Structure 1
Amino acid sequence: MKLFWLVFILVPFYFGSNAQSVHNPFPQHIKYAKASIEPNRFSQSRLDHAIGIFYSEWKAHYIKTIPDKQESYVWFENKNDNKQSVSEGQGYGMIIVALMGGYDPLAKNTFNNLYRYFRAHPSNRGNHLMAWAQNTHDKDIDETSASDGDIDIAYSLLLANAQWGSKGSINYLQEAKTTIADIMRYDINRKTWSVLLSNAIEADSKDYFDTRSSDFMPADFKTFEQATGDTRWNQVIDNGYKLFNYMQTEYSPDAGLVPDFIIHLNKKPKPAPAHYLESVYDGDYNYNACRVPWRIATDYLLSGDARSKIFVQRINHWIRETTNNSTYNLSAGYTLAGDDIKDSHFEALSFITPFAVSAMVDKSNQQWLNSIWDYTVQFKLKDFDYYDNTVKMLNMLIISGNYWKP
């Protein structure tokens, strides 16, 4: 038993000692914004170890390399779908691997392979945007991009530059700047300064003034502005916060939620109707909007933006009250009124872990945050699919104080 615990403690440090040269090796233990919190039921080393173990499992299961090529992708893992990968997952994976540099001795090589796969599948508008999905024959399903995938990929390249520098075979910083420029040109509505659903949307498209709520990533946009000097990103941030405040006030005053899709931004914004794009729940808090607490709260943690804290605290108050502070009462989907949607009474980490990130903005949520962490780490990789496990991996990095801005 003593030998077991010795190995348990030393595994992360073994990897770190054999890692490639990095500037921000995992673990980082970032000091987030004032009054923010992290789980305090366990030591920092226990939190770090849980991440290291889960990362090793996640990487082994989801990072796939193309035979005879230096290209890797994040496996979509859906037996009922013809996709092998999507740009959303590629962005998630590139961020995760960059943050785990210094723990994973092959992180830079893996990142470069993920980068080369991204570049091997360019979009048809914006050469540095990624075609949104590939089939099991490694062919693009179509050549349009998905805005969230583009944004995360750009952010990951900035992380890679901060982690390993840009003097090697890939100029991460230049690649990031070129990708950010394409995002501004093709993924941003420059009338409402909102994020378009994809680069396929043009000014005469019927959905030009529509958006996916989870594509609003203010922490990323602040980094884009700093990296490029393009102050238009501030307009995207300001207008996004105004929109979210309006949606909370008008459509979800009790729960503080936003829907998966928001339409008519140029007139009177409102939730999308059922079957707008993906499902009957397109106007509810479902599998897209479930990421919003994580995306918005991260801005407070990294920058201290008060608008972020105000927004997520409304959600925190509601979710704690509606669950009676019990993680076992969490559901996978809600109406904007805060009621469970039909068939949502099951565990889904993509809903659970973002509530932990949002809880971090204020010490009044300490026990709730501890409970969500405990609840999350008990689940095994085999219990969930690509989406839930990958959102869990990203959110664990944030929750433990190991998410940083480049």
Structure 2
Amino acid sequence: MSKRGNSIFRKTLLLFCTAALIFPAGMSFAGYKPFPQHTTYVSGSIKPNHVSQSTMDDAVKRKWNTWKSSFLKPAGTGKYYVKYNSAGETVSEAHGYGMLFSVLMAGYDNGAQAYFDGLYQYYKAHPSDNNPYLMAWKQNSSFQNIDGANSATDGDMDIAYALLLADRQWGSNESINYLQAAKDIINAIMSNDVNSSQWTLRLGDWATSGTYDTATRPSDFMLNHLKGFQKATGDTRWTNVVDKTFTIINSIHSSYSPNTGLLPDFVVMSGSNYEPAASDFLEGDKDGKYYYNSSRTPWRITTDYLLTGDNRALSQINKMNSFIKNATSSNPANVRAGYDLNGSAIVTYNSGAFYAPFGVSAMTSSSNQSWLNSVWNYTVNATPEGYFEESIKLFSMIVMSGNWWAY
């Protein structure tokens, strides 16, 4: 070995030994992927370009600090939960959000792993009656399961994906084997939240009969989660779910929203085709419209494109971008909190759950640069809203700032 090579070897060994002293086995540390990550998204995509990267990072930090102080609460010794309404209740959707935020903000927030582990312990304490690796979807302020101890697919999926990210962030050699925990819930999702005759995502582990058995919810179309599930488990059946999900997106777009790209809150199977759910299918008279569930689809679906370049939904995304810019005269203040699939607004008010995700979908093309910059500004400076809106704003800001990363 040359003198130079010998020197490099000694320096590397010294750094390794120093790290071992600072971070002995079992001790928490900032993480292997600390915030900010500044992920390189697919070629041709854009980020806000009117503010610096550090300004965007700081805005995400402030939003996380506010979200954490408002919604992340202790739930007894060693546990945390996400307070999603004024009654102090929570749902598994909120729980998945909390776990994702905690692992993504590690490195900036020194308490991130403690929050994550406490959220994990709460999840483990509230299993679904149908599969103990899935989470009972709702608890009251006394942390008791209410409204049926069964699961909701979106909560299950976010919890599973957060555990995969935790393995990448902290490893799985401490008190919690994050990777094994992730595989357990991923396999449970395949067993109970997937209709394996259609390869569609069910609404939850309870939706196994009648119209519900073949229904699905576009806000659950977390395509990058699904790809991560396959990578972690080696289960190639996830490819079937991914392929079917893209098929449904494009079927609904071509048949029901060719001019807007909007997706309804719920989709049902009719014969061999898929169509928007009828009014009052599950939650209310807007079940077949672009409403609070599907407000998340511009963020959920576009994120996979940004990370992987899989363009099978790009036509739908770009049509949606064109529609919303035209409908609002490129002013985020004019976004409305609900639309018919033909583009007619169904309410007169705005909501962060609706305008912020359009910032993520705008990232697909430089033709949306001005619009993206406007959505960023409007989201960062908006008046605080409730748990759901603030969660969607934070997720959208993490992606827009380039700080979302994949398993």
Fold similarity call, TM over 0.5: yes
Cα drift, residue 131 of structure 1: 0.2
Q: Which amino acid aligns with 1:349?
A: G
- Please, which of 319, 322, 328 is the counterpart of residue 323 of structure 1? 328
Alpha-carbon distance between aligned partners in 2 of 1:366 and 1:331, rounded to the nearest angstrom = 21
- Please, which of 68, 79, 90 is the counterpart of residue 59 of structure 1? 68
Aligned-pair identity in percent equals 43
Aligned equivalent of 1:349:
352
Q: Which amino acid aligns with 2:109?
A: D
- Please, which of 70, 81, 92 is the counterpart of residue 73 of structure 1? 81
- Please, which of 161, 184, 190 is the counterpart of residue 184 of structure 1? 190
Cα drift, residue 20 of structure 1: 2.4
Alpha-carbon distance between aligned partners in 2 of 1:78 and 1:387, rounded to the nearest angstrom = 12
- Please, which of 356, 368, 373 is the counterpart of residue 370 of structure 1? 373
Alpha-carbon distance between aligned partners in 2 of 1:265 and 1:396, rounded to the nearest angstrom = 37
CA contact (8 A) 1:124 1:143 kept: yes
Aligned equivalent of 2:13:
none
Aligned equivalent of 1:22:
31
Aligned equivalent of 1:9:
none
Residue 341 of structure 2: SS of its match in structure 1?
coil
CA contact (8 A) 2:30 2:110 kept: no
Superposition map of 1:220-259 within 5 A: 220-259=225-264
Residue 307 of structure 1: SS of its match in structure 2?
coil
CA contact (8 A) 2:250 2:313 kept: no
Deviation by residue 1:52-101 (Cα, 9 ceiling, x = unmatched):
1111111111111023x11100111245xxx6110000001100110000
Residue 81 of structure 2: SS of its match in structure 1?
strand
- Larger deviation: 288-297 or 260-269? 260-269
Q: Which amino acid aligns with 2:248?
A: L
- Larger deviation: 386-395 or 308-317? 308-317
Aligned equivalent of 2:56:
47
Deviation by residue 1:280-302 (Cα, 9 ceiling, x = unmatched):
10010000011111111001111
Q: Which runs of 4+ in 1 moved over 4 A?
A: none
Alpha-carbon distance between aligned partners in 1 of 2:186 and 2:270, rounded to the nearest angstrom = 23
Cα drift, residue 216 of structure 1: 1.3
Aligned equivalent of 1:149:
155
Aligned equivalent of 1:390:
391
Cα drift, residue 265 of structure 1: 5.5
CA contact (8 A) 1:192 1:265 kept: no
CA contact (8 A) 2:249 2:313 kept: no
Deviation by residue 1:228-283 (Cα, 9 ceiling, x = unmatched):
11111111111111111110111111111111011126532111111111111001
Deviation by residue 1:166-221 (Cα, 9 ceiling, x = unmatched):
0000000000001000000000011111110110122x433111111111111110
Aligned equivalent of 1:159:
165
Aligned equivalent of 1:7:
none
Aligned equivalent of 2:25:
none
Superposition map of 1:4-19 within 5 A: none
Cα drift, residue 323 of structure 1: 1.0
Residue correspondences, number? 379
Cα drift, residue 165 of structure 1: 0.4
CA contact (8 A) 1:123 1:145 kept: yes
CA contact (8 A) 2:215 2:267 kept: yes
| Structure of greater Rg | 2
Cα drift, residue 347 of structure 1: 2.2
2:362 aligned with 1:359, yes or no? yes
Structure 2-normalised TM-score?
Answer: 0.91
1:265/1:100 CA distance change after superposition, 3 Å: farther
2:44 aligned with 1:35, yes or no? yes
Q: Which amino acid aligns with 2:241?
A: V
CA contact (8 A) 1:209 1:265 kept: no
Structure 1-normalised TM-score?
Answer: 0.91
Alpha-carbon distance between aligned partners in 2 of 1:194 and 1:44, rounded to the nearest angstrom = 38
2:305 aligned with 1:300, yes or no? yes
Structure 2 stretches of 5 or more lacking a match? 1-27
Alpha-carbon distance between aligned partners in 2 of 1:78 and 1:234, rounded to the nearest angstrom = 40
Alpha-carbon distance between aligned partners in 2 of 1:58 and 1:243, rounded to the nearest angstrom = 34
Aligned equivalent of 1:270:
275
- Please, which of 198, 203, 223 is the counterpart of residue 197 of structure 1? 203
